[in-house]
Amino acid sequence: MTALEKVRGAARSLATITKLGFGAAPARMSLAILAELVGAGFALGSTYAIKFIVQEAAARHVLGAVWAAVALALTAGVSAVAYLVYGSLAPKAIELVTLRLDHELIRLTNRIPTLEYHDRPAFADKLALVRQSRQALAGSIQVIGLSSRTALLSVGAIAIMASIDLRFLLLLLFAVPRIFAGVRAQKLTRASQDAYAEPVRLRAHVYGLVASATAGKEIRVFGLQKALTDRFLGLTMQIRRERDRANWGGAGWLILGDAAFMGAYVAAIGWVVIRAARGEIGVGDVVLTATMAAVLVGAIALVVLIGQYLPTLMLTIERFHWLEDYAQAAPEAIKPQTPPPAVLARGIEMDSVSFAYPDRDVSALSDVSLTLPAGGVIALVGENGSGKSTLVKLLCGFYRPTAGRMLVDGQDLAAMPMEAWRSRVCATFQDYANFELLLHESIGVGEIARLGRKDLVAQALDRAGGSALAGLQPDGLDTLLGRKWGGTELSGGQWQKLALARALFREGPLLVVFDEPSAALDAAAEHEMFARFATEARSGAAAGRVTLLISHRFSTVRMADAIAVLDKGRLKEFGTHKALMANGGLYAELYELQATGYR
Amino acid sequence: MTGAAAAMPRRLGTISRRGLARALCWAKVRWDAPIMQCARLLPEACPVLTAVLAALTFVNAVAPAATIVATGLMVGSLPATVHAGLASAAGHRTLMALGFWAGLMMLGEICPRLLTATADSASSRVESRVQERVIVALNRPWSIAHLEDPRTADLLSQVSGLGVGAVGPGAAVSALVTTRIPMILRSVVSGALLFAYSWPATLLLFAVQFVFVRQIRRSWVDDAKTLLGKTETVRRADYYRDLALGAATAKEMRMLSLSDWLGGRLEREWMTGLLQEWRQRRRGMIAGVAGAIGMSLAGLAVYGLLAGDAARGVITIGALIIYLRAAQAIGGWGLSGADYAIEYGSAALPALRELEARTADVSLAALKTLPIDAPSREVRFDNVTFAYGAGVPVLRDLSLSVPAGSSLAIVGLNGAGKTTLVKLLARLYDPTSGAVTIDGVDLRDVDPAVWRGQVAAIFQDFLRFGLSARDNIGFGGLELAADEGALERAAGKAGVIDRIRALPKGWDTPLMRQFTDGADLSGGEWQRVGLARALMAVEAGARLLILDEPTAALDGRAEAELYDRFLELTRGLTTILISHRFSTVRRADRICVLDQGSVLELGSHVELMTLGGKYAELFTLQSQRFAEAEAAK
């Protein structure tokens, strides 16, 4: 990176921060900066006042000296007030910016239509880093005030020094090694941060395990308490070694830089003192230059601090920009866009669809051609890793096929606004989420526009075979779920019924996907659900609704109109239960396997 | 008269005793202040660094005062030097003062640098020490009830840091040693210098300063307290953020377009806490500004006095500079800006203490030990009733006996209490009433660690450690972790050995892709790893095997394969199997149907089918669909 690019990068970072700060808290940011400037200006003024006190006292002007003392008290007082105001405003501005950043992160992350961070660890890592640095990013708005103060202090201090003797400007040359040292220290810090990023993550993982009740069971049953504590301590030592090395190495560089600048400064003052001793300049000027030392050193330290801080900050902001660009660059729908049809007339077709996850060599789906006819109930079966869930992800628009097309009533799915399409799909996934909200909210989020409609929630719950949950202790539909809030904890099967109800809460879907809908359900609940399933599917058939069912349970699967059998990403068999059984292929084999268990 | 005279010393005695008591009380309050608890962690976490810190802090406080004196001496000697020339005695004094001044300036620049570096190392040690104590505290109880207690979650959130910026104990320690203590010391040393000029002036400055500092500090203390009271709100906001950004919920977020709604919820939670804080801070700021005005008025008096005295020749120019700078330095303390970090960050300590108190060991007196082959006769539930906290009982008056060496399958409707029963058996909880006995010994009388040595388990929500394959399976039997043969056997029986051998670094491959050379396993593979872990415990001598839905993530073929070896896997063990799949359940020696927390039916598959009760009904439900299919054929 050239120096120019670096400067440009720094400028862009500052611009982003400024936008962020002023966007979230305009009044507070302006006031905070004003307070910084007033504080710095009056601090310079009070240094000058001391010079006058000494001068006037040396000249035996009692009144003049006292007035100068008054000026000192006033300037120092104003500076202190400004500082206090800043100290009270800054945290509030940071809090507002953090909130704004939360919103931005949520917005940007959810704009990414694909699920790469679900499936790609490197991406997940990067996203986690952005999340972690949001506080650092919010705190960075202080840089604006700090920079203003630094600029004023540096210019003021230099002007005052130059007013005594222009040759003092030479001192600025000695700030160069100081800045160089700052850069070196920063490099060490970054290198060490990279080195301990992984142990830090692992340590957080161990800490999280110990604090979770789920893990707590196994930790106790297997007696892992000490093993995990030892692991934690080992990682801590590893992190500590890296951190300490950077910390002390950096301090060494900074001390060298400090010594270079202070050496020059002290020499300059020595020269001033000798000139004063020769009677060439006044005593007041000696006091001023000596006092100015603190101001100038402080100003340079601030410059260096900002210089040191900026690269870290830029790194943080770059990550944020990366997310912004990523969300921006998400594959837009092919133009012209077509909204999803009101009802399905033909159905959903997969036309020689292939798909490989990014960064993976093996195709998850290869050349799958399959028609899900309007109004039909299709079952999808296959062994672990055969591509069933991938197919669902493509249907939900989480990914675009690597080759081939997905057609909804003949319209390319890629040309549909994703949000509009998804609002017509309802799906329960194998790894469905448990929303620990109020019971009715946990279902109502299925269609946010109808959140709060408890009557509809009760209906959905009923259709999902969970009407008993409506009477959940202690508050029925208003029961708070999740033990972490002191609410009611549900069993695995109950959570699954909730997930089903959430999917069924949606109105008028074109596609309904149930991925392993009964894995955690007991036999009776499963049976009841299938009976409802059939009715549900038929009731939507008029609107052309397609129901896609994924299950390992072949007793369920056979009620579908047609069954698609996937094997290693390829469509192996397709047909009715009867036809496939007669065929004697993979489906028949798997079916037999399960049926024997019940003979 | 004499009486009054005699009463005097008594009264004085009472007053001084009362004063002493009050002083002691004050000292105790200060000693117990969160920041003091935080500071006491320093010698605990890093004794050597603490000593270095103390020395550096001292130098850091004295050096600026000495610089003031050197400046005063240097400037003060100048008029005489101007008069007599540099070669004179006065000139020598000037040069000597210059030399001192130069040395002190260097020291004053380097010392804070060292202090900062030391404080940085120390604060990260304090932070780790706090986490270590949290881990130890969380691991201490034999039960897991505390991990499901919302109060524990509150305390953990407080320990990890307060406020939007999550300011933690490390930041508090850092602010204390790099800012507050040096500022106070500098104030005191400067006060000592000014004392030589005028003690009333010194006292005036200190008195005003004291009021000022108190006001500012109090506002931050209140602020932190408010925030502590809102911990659940903060956790909820964190939860909404996790939902919106977490990978686990990514699919739902997109399907349901929930991000805006969650963002709104997040903001609402934050705002309820923040609004109150902002009001408090504004009050604090106003008090602070009033204090600062008081400080500058007091400064006005002192500076004016000094300037007048110097102009009238009462004190020399050198003394003027010394006193002036000293008077200024006294006031620095209130403006340190360290209070925010100190009050927010140190809130972790009382939370840590409460956590430690809540998890303190329940005395496990007079514990019996079990023979290494326990259970050798039976595992028994005697009229066991159990409820989580004050909730509805999950198990009601349940009695059940499992003969040692046999297998028992537990079936039942969702929420019937299957998993809870297993938790009681592993003694993760004690029954609310009734008893679980092993060969006649009440589990409550047995050291939990001893009993768990006899138990091997795979739970429904088994763990996925982000550690190596070796750890993931070896954790089942720590004492055998070095025994490659045992690992291979366990992994072999669970059917995952080939997968492990194929991993990039074999047994040492971390089982999460986020880690270097890591690999991701599929759900089914993970389940086999969990099973292998339980089988490793069997290798290490466990006699009771708990299998809670051990094949939920496996496909039909894999499941069938595993259950074909069910007898081989459970030979010689007492086995408890929970499953929804009746085709597997029927292989158990006996089957227990749980309903509403009690035993409804108990017997072998054949017996229960003959009985024609709930089991027969449920089994038929599942099997008839196959039967229908057969019939249709």
Tell me the per-residue pLDDT of B16-32, one tens digit each, with 9 for 90 and over.
788 888 888 888 888 88
Name the packing angle between helices B2-32 and B34-45 (round to 10°): 60
CA dihedral (A386, A390, A395, A396) positive or negative:
positive
Say what the ipTM of the complex is. 0.88
Q: In the prediction, which pLDDT does A179 show?
A: 79
Q: In the prediction, which pLDDT does A399 show?
A: 85
Would you tell me how many other CB atoms lie within 10 Å of the CB of residue A390?
Answer: 23
Q: What is the pLDDT of residues A205-256, one digit of tens each?
A: 899 999 988 899 889 888 899 999 999 999 999 999 999 999 999 999 989 9
Cα(A470)–Cα(A463) distance, integer angstroms: 12
Closest by Cβ to B621, choosing from A212, A277, A524: A524
Reading phi first (left if > 0) and then psi (alpha if -120 to 50, else beta), residue A355 is in beta
Share of chain B above pLDDT 70, in %: 94
CB spacing of B135 vs A270 below 8 angstroms: no
CB spacing of A522 vs B284 below 8 angstroms: no
Whether pLDDT at A119 is above 80:
no
Whether pLDDT at A282 is above 90:
no
Residue type, A422: R
Q: In the prediction, which pLDDT does B136 show?
A: 94
CB pairs under 8 A between A and B: 488
Which residues 83-142 of A have a C-beta within 8 angstroms of B?
83-85, 87-88, 91-92, 94-95, 98-99, 102-103, 105-107, 109-110, 113, 115, 117-118, 121, 124-125, 127, 131, 135, 138-139
Q: Does A74 touch chain B (CB under 8 A)?
A: yes
CB spacing of A594 vs B583 below 8 angstroms: yes
Closest by Cβ to B428, choosing from A220, A290, A520: A220
In the numeric block, which tokens belong to residue A448? Answer: 């946010």
Mean pLDDT of A519-533: 69
Share of chain A above pLDDT 70, in %: 94
What number of residues does chain A have?
599
Mean pLDDT of B136-162: 90
Share of chain A above pLDDT 90, in %: 20
Mean pLDDT estimate for chain B: 87
3-state SS class at A566 = strand
Q: In the prediction, which pLDDT does A542 show?
A: 72
Reading phi first (left if > 0) and then psi (alpha if -120 to 50, else beta), residue B414 is in beta
Contact by Cβ (8 Å): B244, B263: yes
Whether pLDDT at A268 is above 90:
no
- Residue B361's pLDDT band, with cuts at 50, 70 and 90, is low
Contact by Cβ (8 Å): A432, B249: no
Q: What is the pLDDT of residues B279-288, one digit of tens each?
A: 888 888 888 8
CB spacing of A287 vs B313 below 8 angstroms: no
Q: What are phi and psi of B544, to 5 degrees?
A: -120, 120
Which chain B residues are Cβ-neighbours of A118 within 8 angstroms? 247, 250-251
User: Which residue is listed with tokens 């229960």?
Assistant: B608
CA dihedral (B63, B69, B73, B75) positive or negative:
positive
Which chain A residues are Cβ-neighbours of B254 within 8 angstroms? 110, 113, 115, 396, 398, 422
Closest by Cβ to B285, choosing from A84, A202, A396: A84
Q: In the prediction, which pLDDT does A486 show?
A: 81
Cα(B566)–Cα(A283) distance, integer angstroms: 97
CB spacing of A118 vs B428 below 8 angstroms: no
Mean pLDDT of B35-40: 90
Closest by Cβ to A523, choosing from B460, B582, B584: B582
Q: In the prediction, which pLDDT does A430 show?
A: 79
DSSP element (H, E) containing A345: none
Q: In the prediction, which pLDDT does A441 show?
A: 92
User: Which residue is listed with tokens 């909880």?
Assistant: B429
Closest by CA to A70, choosing from A78, A81, A82, is A78
- Residue B1's pLDDT band, with cuts at 50, 70 and 90, is very low
Closest residue of chain A to B255, computed from CA coordinates:
A422
- Residue B194's pLDDT band, with cuts at 50, 70 and 90, is very high
Cα(A513)–Cα(A378) distance, integer angstroms: 10
More confident of the two residues B551 and B379 = B379
3-state SS class at B503 = coil
Q: In the prediction, which pLDDT does A355 show?
A: 92
Which chain B residues are Cβ-neighbours of A396 within 8 angstroms? 251, 254-255
Mean pLDDT of B565-571: 82
Q: In the prediction, which pLDDT does B335 show?
A: 67
Closest by CA to A70, choosing from A46, A87, A94, is A46
- Residue B631's pLDDT band, with cuts at 50, 70 and 90, is low
Mean pLDDT of B380-397: 89
Closest by CA to B283, choosing from B335, B346, B215, is B215
DSSP element (H, E) containing B379: strand B378-387
Q: Does A266 touch chain B (CB under 8 A)?
A: yes
Cα(A577)–Cα(B628) distance, integer angstroms: 12
- List, as own/partner pairs, every contact residues A538-542 make where C-beta atoms lie below 8 angstroms and the sequence separation is at least 24, other chains included: A540/A375, A540/A509, A540/A512, A541/A375, A541/A376, A542/A375
Cα(B319)–Cα(B306) distance, integer angstroms: 9
Contact by Cβ (8 Å): B283, B218: no
CB spacing of A72 vs B303 below 8 angstroms: yes
Closest residue of chain A to B213, computed from CA coordinates:
A84
CB spacing of A124 vs B284 below 8 angstroms: no
Q: What is the pLDDT of residues B299-339, one digit of tens each?
A: 999 999 999 999 998 998 888 988 998 998 887 666 666 88
In the numeric block, which tokens belong to residue B118? Answer: 């030391």
Q: In the prediction, which pLDDT does A238 show?
A: 93
* C-alpha B522, offset from chain centre: 31
* C-alpha A357, offset from chain centre: 23
- Residue B363's pLDDT band, with cuts at 50, 70 and 90, is low
Q: Does A576 touch chain B (CB under 8 A)?
A: no
Cα(B302)–Cα(B323) distance, integer angstroms: 10
Closest by CA to B521, choosing from B461, B472, B579, is B472
Mean pLDDT of B481-499: 90
Q: Which DSSP state fits A481?
A: B
Judged by average pLDDT, the poorest of A51-60, A303-312, A317-326, B608-617 is A303-312
Give which of B124, B414, B467, B566 to mutate to test A binding, by max A Cβ within 10 Å. Answer: B414
Q: What is the pLDDT of residues A124-158, one digit of tens each?
A: 777 777 887 787 788 888 888 888 888 888 888 88
Q: In the prediction, which pLDDT does A508 show?
A: 82
CB spacing of B235 vs A484 below 8 angstroms: yes
Q: What is the pLDDT of residues A541-584, one digit of tens each?
A: 777 889 898 887 777 787 788 999 999 899 999 999 889 989 88
Would you tell me how many other CB atoms lie within 10 Å of the CB of residue A338?
Answer: 18
Q: In the prediction, which pLDDT does B409 show?
A: 93
Number of helical (H) and strand (E) elements in chain A, helices listed first = 20, 10
Reading phi first (left if > 0) and then psi (alpha if -120 to 50, else beta), residue A585 is in beta
Mean pLDDT of B104-119: 89
- Residue A507's pLDDT band, with cuts at 50, 70 and 90, is confident
Closest by Cβ to A202, choosing from B331, B466, B560: B466
Exposed, middle or buried, B594 (CB in 10 Å: 0-12/13-18/19+)? buried
Cα(A269)–Cα(B197) distance, integer angstroms: 28
Closest residue of chain B to A505, computed from CA coordinates:
B256
CB spacing of A80 vs B633 below 8 angstroms: no
Q: In the prediction, which pLDDT does B523 show?
A: 80
Cα(A538)–Cα(A541) distance, integer angstroms: 5
Q: Does A27 touch chain B (CB under 8 A)?
A: no
More confident of the two residues B562 and A69 = A69
Judged by average pLDDT, the poorest of A4-13, A319-328, B156-165 is A4-13
Whether pLDDT at A25 is above 90:
no
Mean pLDDT of A330-359: 82
Mean pLDDT of B233-238: 88
Give which of B129, B303, B395, B564 to mutate to test A binding, by max A Cβ within 10 Å. Answer: B303
Q: Which DSSP state fits B176?
A: I
Cα(A210)–Cα(A226) distance, integer angstroms: 11
Whether pLDDT at B120 is above 70:
yes
Cα(A583)–Cα(A26) distance, integer angstroms: 72
CB spacing of A74 vs B148 below 8 angstroms: no
Whether pLDDT at B122 is above 90:
yes
Q: Does A208 touch chain B (CB under 8 A)?
A: no
More confident of the two residues B521 and A231 = A231
Distances (CA, A) of A424 to A351, A375, A396, A406: 21, 14, 10, 16
Widest CA span in chain A: 118
Q: Does A230 touch chain B (CB under 8 A)?
A: no
Q: In the prediction, which pLDDT does B245 show?
A: 86
